[in-house]
Amino acid sequence: MNPETYSLEDYLTDQSFQKWAKGTASIAEHNFWNDFYENHPEKHELIRQAKVSVLSLSRTESQVDQATIELSWKTVEARIDESSKKPIQLRRWMAYAAMIVAVASALFFFKSEKVTYVRYSAGYGQTSKVNLSDGTLITLNANSSVKVAAQWEDGPREVWLESGEAFFEVSKTKDKQPFYVYSDGVQVKVLGTEFNVNRRSDDTRVMLREGKVQVSHVNVHTTLVPGEMAIVNPRSAHINVTSVDVSKYDSWLRNKIIFENTSLKEVSKIIEAHYGVTTYLDEALMNREISGELPNGNLELLLNAIEIIHDLNITYKGDRVTIHEKISQSN
């Protein structure tokens, strides 16, 4: 078939085109489609539409974390060794030793004051979930980490948000052990509830979805009701509380990113924090705004959407994103 006579569906069905759109094409394919695009200005609109469509259909599914896979592999390995009935004593011992090494290297343990902590983190462009022993679920947004004691004794349950953003669904325990989240000097005290903590900017933002929490900083305390967000600047003794649209602040849990009259300046900050790229944005474009909802975790799609909406020229190479006004040539 000839791409010159392709309909939208034809482009979308062409595997080579799909790969080009996603940026996973071989060099030959890449050159072919680039040349084709260059030489067919009358097809530009159709091709761009097809490209964005491929991107919006494509998703990267969440990866099972390494530690889980390693533990699961140890089970397989043990079953294999069992069935081959070789001398067991030493092999068993080796399997357990390997298991300990695997877990330790995957989770990174460290010790202080006799307490062992585990750090959980999510890399750029991905979220990850942490199940704590008490049934509490923490969802980490991209480029975020928390620290938790490896074992909880009778005392309070404590979690440190070391960077980024996390959503907590705290389970109640029988003896109503308190649960604390610490973020840059800010303390959040909880009793069975759902809330979001974000320390990406200079301040810490605590958004409560359900239940009740108390936010404290230095000597100031405030209690939030669902739908409220506390904004705490570490250098001030004041806590700001505002009512917010909850679905906007927990949209990342549903793998959505929502913009509402968001300036491109803010958008580029968000991109940098989530995907670990450096953005260059023309001064003149900083106050342009976008609104809408996109799947999270797909930087290409987001950039494509901005490019089309504001008719800009966006390049994304290595870890550099450049956003410029389009210099019209062909039009």
Partner 1 sequence: MDTNLHIDEDFSEDKDHWTRLLKKEKAALAYFFRKYYSLLFNYGLKICRDERLVEDTIQDVFVKIWNTRNLPEVTNPKSYVLIIFKNALLDKLKEAKKLGSGTFTFDHDTESIQEKIIEDESMRAVRTQIDIGLDLLPARQREILYLRFYNDLDYQEIADVLGINYQSVRNSIHESMKKLRKTIVLGSIILVQYLF
The residue ranges that bind partner 1 (CB under 8 A) are 1, 3, 8-10, 12-18, 24, 26, 28-29, 32, 49, 52-64, 69, 72-73, 75-77, 79-80, 83, 127, 129, 137, 139, 169, 247, 251, 253-256, 259, 261, 288-295, 301, 305, 308-310
What is d(CA 37, CA 60) in angstroms, rounded to the nearest whole number? Answer: 26
Start-to-end CA span in the chain (Å) = 29
26 or 116: CB nearest partner 1: 26
C-alpha span between 188 and 195 (Å, rounded)? 10
What minimum distance in Å lies between the beta carbon of 160 and partner 1?
22
Given the complex with partner 1, which of 73 and 96 has the nearer CB atom?
73
- For helices 89-107 and 66-84, angle between their N-to-C axes, nearest 10 degrees: 170
Nearest by Cα to 133 from 149, 144, 114, 122: 149
The CB-of-15 to partner 1 minimum distance in angstroms stands at 6
The least distance separating partner 1 from the CB of residue 291, rounded to whole angstroms, comes to: 6
**CB closer to partner 1, 272 vs 289:** 289
- How near is the Cβ of 70 to partner 1 at its closest, in Å? 8
Contacts of range 76-82, beta carbons closer than 8 Å, 24 or more positions apart: none
Least distance CB 258 / partner 1 (angstroms): 9
Q: How far is the CB of 49 from partner 1 (least distance, A)?
A: 6
Find the shortest distance in angstroms from Cβ 228 to partner 1. Answer: 17
Residue 160 is given by DSSP the state E
Residue placing its CB nearer to partner 1 in the complex, 57 or 225: 57
Two structure tokens written together for 220: 């100031």
Which CB atom, from 98 or from 218, has the smaller least distance to partner 1? 98
Of 232 and 271, the one with the shorter C-beta distance to partner 1 is 271
157-163 and 179-183 strand pairing: parallel
Which amino acid, residue 192? G
Q: Is 227 left (phi over 0), alpha (psi -120 to 50) or beta?
A: left
Nearest to partner 1 of 80, 90 (CB atom): 80
Each as own residue / partner, the long-range contacts of residues 241-248 (CB below 8 Å, 24 or more positions apart, any chain) are 244/207, 246/207, 246/209
Determine the Cα–Cα distance for residues 95 and 114; give it in Å rounded to an integer. Answer: 27
